[in-house]
């Protein structure tokens, strides 16, 4: 019995390193400021001795980040009090931080470390057009119902976004175009839209010559930047939490605007901008937007992350494809053999194909309790099912009835007929379905970057956030080449595996 305390002590000492090595995971939305704030948080927390600090960038919108936070897939992310009150808690106003935290406690969350600046929503249009129309206030928009609106998808659906704004100001029932925030500035500069939603700390307002309309009805609340985190974070990571307290009140609006400019206009990497800010001697000092730009297109295309992203992309595509084959081929066989099951199986797989990819990913985060590979893997496996199931079903139904009858006359069982007659004859059509699923999955896998699953979608998501065409192409071109390579590999495999008479016409 005397050995038990000693064993317990040894076990506790053995477990201490595992607890100390627990990573802290920071998330961010897919716009420039969120990337930068998350990098500032990561680098600040990484200065302690409590283990690695990870940044999961560009995780879509508020719903995805909130689901990841509540599931424990991330520990914290930069958020705004207005968004917490209006979009998460559905409150009519923005109460003080203690009251927000009292309501967040039911979700197991807390908002802490006010960073020192307010970044509100607003509507803006070209200054020349505003001058010609005499527009200075939001209430004056009701006198110009023909203006074309280009609004971000999140703003169109938020409780504190377009629906409430339209009602508060009595605006005409126009149908805005949904645009990614990073692309809206290009759209208004090219006069494709007239009014866009903006953040008041955006760096492009002055260079693009835009006028922000006064919110004379005070519809938009204050959006004070804070850290939204799991309630147990301070207890789990005491040293990191103490380090994060140093960020309280440190970032001014001007500093945030300059950091956004350094990333968007001078195209400096997010980690570099964050490091320069943390090394600055005062709160108002921030990187200069006139710093040297990032490397050009060819340097980005062949950047150090090329092979890592490629391996992640291939893993997502082929692991999910393998599961789709294992599930889809038996379903196709079942549909071909049982007419009653045919409409049900084909109908369900067709319906799954119509679910929007981002919506499915958002649903899978709370279901699986995590972000990253697992929900992305499930989503891709679901999207790959339809071509495999339908082609398996079609291939088996095309087998002549006379061949089945001849096999039965030879005394073969149903299982033997399937294995020796039907499946070999259906193989060309079945393989065509597998090939279609593989090529489609290459493109669909880019969406996985919105929940931190990696792949070439990381470059595309970041390029969208920065409106960086070179980075977008550096992500899109490898995806296209990968799809062409997989198509060619299937053609070569078809030549080696199938007799010439069995191959489908090109």
DSSP annotation of 152 reads E
| C-alpha pair distances (Å), 225 with each of 38, 83, 156, 278, 479 | 12, 10, 21, 17, 36
- Provide CB contacts within 8 A for 350, sequence distance 6+: 386
pTM, entire model: 0.73
Phi and psi at residue 60, in whole multiples of 5°?
70, -140
Could you tell me if 110 and 104 are in contact, meaning their C-beta atoms sit under 8 angstroms apart? yes
Beta bridge partners of 177: 150
In terms of C-beta density within 10 A (0-12 exposed, 13-18 middle, 19 or more buried), how is residue 154 classed? buried
> Which token pair is 137?
């206030």
> 225: closest CA among 31, 109, 39, 79?
79
- pLDDT tens, per residue, the chain with 506 residues: 344 344 344 334 444 444 445 889 999 998 889 999 999 999 999 987 778 999 988 887 888 889 889 888 899 999 999 999 988 999 988 999 999 999 999 999 999 999 999 998 899 999 999 999 999 999 999 999 999 999 988 888 877 788 889 989 998 888 888 887 778 888 899 999 999 999 889 888 888 999 999 999 999 888 999 999 999 999 999 999 999 999 999 999 989 999 999 988 888 889 999 999 999 766 445 555 544 455 677 777 888 888 888 898 999 999 999 999 999 999 999 998 888 888 899 999 988 888 887 778 778 877 887 777 888 889 999 999 999 999 999 988 888 888 888 877 888 888 888 888 888 888 888 888 999 999 999 988 888 887 777 888 888 877 776 667 788 888 899 999 999 999 888 888 776 665 555 555 55
Q: Which SS3 state, helix, strand or coil, does residue 92 take? A: coil
Distance (Å, whole) CA 257 – CA 212: 15
Cβ burial 121-150 (10 Å sphere, 16+ → b, else e): bbbbbbbebbeeeebeebbbbeebeebbbb
Mapping DSSP onto H, E and C, the string for 174-208 reads CCCEEECHHHHHHHHHCCCCCEEEEECCCCCCCCC
Alpha carbons within 13 angstroms on the beta-carbon side of residue 33 total: 26
Phi and psi at residue 39, in whole multiples of 5°?
-65, -40
Q: What confidence score (pLDDT) does residue 496 get?
A: 62
Q: What confidence score (pLDDT) does residue 490 get?
A: 85
Q: What confidence score (pLDDT) does residue 67 get?
A: 87
Could you tell me if 301 and 433 are in contact, meaning their C-beta atoms sit under 8 angstroms apart? no
Mapping DSSP onto H, E and C, the string for 235-248 reads HHCHHHHHHHHHHC
- Give the H or E element holding residue 211: strand 210-212
Beta bridge partners of 225: 80
- Provide CB contacts within 8 A for 154, sequence distance 6+: 61, 62, 161, 181
Q: What confidence score (pLDDT) does residue 293 get?
A: 53
> 204: closest CA among 130, 155, 264?
264
Which strands form 210-212's sheet, in the order they lie side by side?
A: 177-179, 149-152, 195-199, 121-126, 210-212
What percent of the chain is helix, strand and coil (3-state, nearest 5)?
60, 10, 30
Terminal alpha carbon distance of the chain: 77
| Region label for 408, one of left (φ > 0), alpha (ψ between -120 and 50) or beta (otherwise) | alpha
Domain annotation for the chain: domains and CATH numbers: 21-118+223-294 (3.40.190.10), 121-212 (3.40.190.120), 306-502 (1.10.3720.10)
């Amino acid at each position: 019995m005397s050995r038990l305390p000693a064993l317990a002590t040894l076990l506790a000492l053995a477990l201490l390193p595992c607890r100390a090595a627990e990573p802290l995971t920071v998330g961010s939305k897919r716009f420039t400021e969120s990337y930068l704030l998350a990098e500032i948080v990561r680098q600040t927390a990484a200065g302690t001795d409590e283990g690695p600090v990870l940044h999961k960038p560009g995780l879509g919108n508020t719903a995805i980040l909130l689901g990841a936070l509540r599931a424990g897939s991330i520990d914290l992310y930069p958020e705004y009090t207005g968004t917490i009150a209006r979009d998460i808690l559905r409150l009519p106003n923005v109460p003080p931080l203690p009251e927000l935290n009292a309501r967040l406690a039911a979700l197991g969350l807390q908002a802490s470390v006010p960073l020192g600046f307010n970044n509100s929503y607003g509507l803006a249009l070209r200054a020349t057009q505003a001058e010609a129309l005499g527009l200075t206030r939001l209430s004056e928009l009701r006198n110009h119902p023909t203006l074309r609106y280009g609004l971000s998808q999140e703003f169109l659906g938020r409780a504190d976004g377009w629906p409430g704004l339209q009602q508060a100001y009595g605006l005409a029932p126009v149908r805005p175009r949904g645009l990614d925030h990073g692309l809206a500035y290009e759209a208004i500069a090219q006069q494709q839209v007239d009014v866009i939603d903006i953040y008041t700390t955006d760096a492009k307002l002055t260079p693009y010559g835009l006028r922000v309309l006064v919110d004379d009805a005070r519809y938009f609340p204050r959006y004070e930047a804070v850290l939204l985190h799991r309630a147990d974070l301070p207890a789990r990571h005491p040293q990191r939490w103490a380090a994060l307290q140093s960020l309280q009140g440190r970032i001014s609006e001007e500093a945030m605007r300059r950091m956004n400019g350094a990333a968007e206009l001078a195209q400096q990497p997010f980690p570099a901008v964050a490091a320069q800010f943390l090394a600055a001697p005062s709160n108002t000092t921030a990187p200069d937007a006139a710093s040297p730009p990032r490397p050009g297109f060819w340097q980005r295309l062949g950047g150090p992350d090329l092979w890592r992203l490629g391996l992640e992309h291939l893993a997502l595509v082929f692991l999910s494809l393998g599961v789709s084959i294992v599930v889809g081929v038996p379903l196709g066989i079942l549909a071909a053999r049982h007419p009653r099951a045919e409409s049900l199986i084909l109908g369900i797989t067709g319906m799954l194909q119509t679910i929007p990819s981002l919506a499915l990913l958002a649903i899978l985060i709370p279901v699986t309790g995590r972000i990253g590979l697992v929900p992305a893997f499930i989503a891709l496996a679901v999207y790959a099912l339809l071509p495999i199931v339908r082609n398996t079903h079609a291939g088996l139904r095309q087998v002549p009835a006379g061949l089945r009858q001849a096999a039965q006359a030879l005394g073969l069982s149903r299982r033997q007929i399937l294995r020796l007659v039907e499946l070999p004859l259906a193989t060309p059509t079945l393989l065509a379905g597998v090939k279609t699923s593989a090529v489609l999955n290459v493109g669909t896998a880019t969406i996985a970057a919105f929940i931190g699953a990696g792949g070439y979608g990381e470059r595309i998501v970041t390029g969208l956030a920065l409106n960086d065409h070179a980075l977008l192409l550096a992500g899109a071109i490898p995806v296209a080449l990968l799809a062409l390579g997989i198509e060619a590999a299937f053609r070569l495999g078809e030549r080696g595996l199938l007799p010439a008479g069995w191959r489908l016409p090109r």
